[in-house]
Amino acid sequence: MKYSVSYDISEVNRCVLCEDPQCTRACPQNADVGRVLRSLYFDNNYGAMVRLGKTDCTYCNAPCEKVCVLSPSKPPVNIREIFLDLKKDEKDMVPMKIKNPDISTDICGVKLENPFLLSSSVVASNYDMCKRAFEAGWAGVSFKTICSFPQHEASPRFSAINNHSVSFCGFKNIEQLSDHSVRENMEIFRKLRREFPTKVIVASVMGQNEDEWTSLASECEKAGASVIECNFSCPNMENDGLGITIGQSEELIERFTRATKRGTSLPVLAKMTPNITDMVPMALAAKRGGADGIAAINTINSITGVNLDTLTAEPEVRGKSIVGGYSGPAVKPIALRFISDLANSKDLAGMHISGMGGIESWADAVEFMLLGAGSLQITTAVMQYGYRIIDDLIDGVRTYLRGKGINKLSKLVGGATGSVVSHRSIERDTVVFPIFNTERCIGCGRCFIACMDGGHQAIKFDYKTRRPKLLGSECVGCHLCRLVCPVKAIDKASRAIVRPCSDKKE
């Protein structure tokens, strides 16, 4: 959903999203300040406007800023200015075409009240966590992978790559599977099923042989699971016949999927590894084994960095480290590529795709669904921000549907699959020029630097006026300048110029 957004998103991103935010307590108008900021943080602009309501900060002395936890070591978040700018945006708010779209969906016929589940990981690893997630509004959980062999975890087992804000963009784990016994996990399933009969429990399982795959699926069904998910992809389980080793072998995928199906009448998803070149053959192997759907993607083999003092890769465990699974916003483009590949395969038509990999906001979720995912799983964003992100995920998706006039979420699924074509099919005979907004431009020259040293030397910088000028005869319409502009002062032309790129004209 596009809005004419005037507030400073970089300032919003300085908010640390407190538990029990003091800014809310300090507001003399009883506005839920922290909640409004959280909606803005997760791109739920409409939700933020609704929550701000009739609050008027024009003559307020901003006591909310005085109690910001960032001060006195850092300047507080400029809440008053953010809210004043947000009020200006109300007039540009996209009108809502319908009132109450249906955001329910399903996994192979198993109904979900909304498309969001916790993915199989530490965020869904015991009764209390799943209970709190269900109460928060999550439609289901894919429980941390159940196995019959013991787990022995390392410490520490996480590392991350940070961007320029307070959050990390990439996350590495060397975590293994559930450390509870099968019996203990089955009791958790039974308890959750009794207390939350409408919620979906996806039982992620991993066996050491065919008999274990069969028996684990059977036990999970008896204990109340709704769906079985075969973990063919954990990068931290590299012994022969486990985890990623299975996911890289068509023969093992087919064999163990078939073994799982023997033990259950429930829908079976095969969870795929991205540590391969082409996922489609692996998904087809799962289909031959009887899988009803595909879950993708699991984490990517990675080393996030090396400690320059100890000369050890991260995370460091007594002087050593291992390759681990990479997740978070940085992997989203890779995940979307695999989702698109699966959805565009005619041989996989009709199979459910449960998508995951870098989903943080409602917009991320919609992108996954447009490229073919019918349900969505999330872990890393929950590890950063908690179960509470479900509020803005649901709110944002519902608002998007209302603005588009779409009455049912399932109508989104696959809506963008046709836009991804082969390299030979892409049109290459037109150029779309960048358009410079001189009023918004701050004169930093970043576009000039990028074009000179990383583009096609198509921008001239006037050092007197501190404004860039496009050299049309040199521009090939790559739009690097638009991507590096820190204040979004460069747009793209509304129409393309038809000419071969080699035929440069003013």
Q: Identify any residues that bridge with 306 across adjacent strands, giving them in sequence order.
A: 313
What's the pLDDT at 6?
A: 57
Active site residue: 57, 234, 478, 481, which one? 234
- Of the pLDDT bands very low, low, confident and very high (cuts 50, 70, 90), residue 434 is very high
Rounded Cα distance, 130 and 126, in Å: 6
- Of the pLDDT bands very low, low, confident and very high (cuts 50, 70, 90), residue 4 is very low
Examine the pLDDT at 64 and tell me if it is beyond 70. Answer: yes
What's the pLDDT at 184?
A: 97
β-strands 200-205, 140-146 pairing = parallel
Percent residues over pLDDT 90 in the chain = 86
What's the pLDDT at 3?
A: 42
- Of the pLDDT bands very low, low, confident and very high (cuts 50, 70, 90), residue 80 is very high
The mean predicted confidence, pLDDT, of the chain is: 93
| Structural domains in the chain, sorted by start | 9-92 (1.10.1060.10), 105-419 (3.20.20.70), 427-498 (3.30.70.20)
Rounded Cα distance, 304 and 302, in Å: 6
Rounded Cα distance, 396 and 367, in Å: 13
What's the pLDDT at 90?
A: 76
β-strands 140-146, 158-162 pairing = unpaired
Rounded Cα distance, 284 and 288, in Å: 6
What's the pLDDT at 238?
A: 63
What's the pLDDT at 1?
A: 44
Q: Count of alpha carbons within 13 Å of 151, Cβ hemisphere only?
A: 19
Read off the pLDDT of residues 36-59 as tens digits, 9 standing for 90 and up: 999 999 999 999 999 999 999 999
Ramachandran category for residue 340: left, alpha or beta (phi over 0 → left; psi -120 to 50 → alpha) = alpha
Annotation marks residue 234 as catalytic: yes
Examine the pLDDT at 240 and tell me if it is beyond 70. Answer: no
Cα-based distances in Å from 377 to 62, 92, 237: 39, 32, 21
Read off the pLDDT of residues 315-350 as tens digits, 9 standing for 90 and up: 999 999 999 999 999 999 999 999 999 999 999 999
What's the pLDDT at 26?
A: 97
- Of the pLDDT bands very low, low, confident and very high (cuts 50, 70, 90), residue 500 is low
Read off the pLDDT of residues 367-394 as tens digits, 9 standing for 90 and up: 999 999 999 999 999 999 999 999 999 9
- 3-class SS at 284? helix
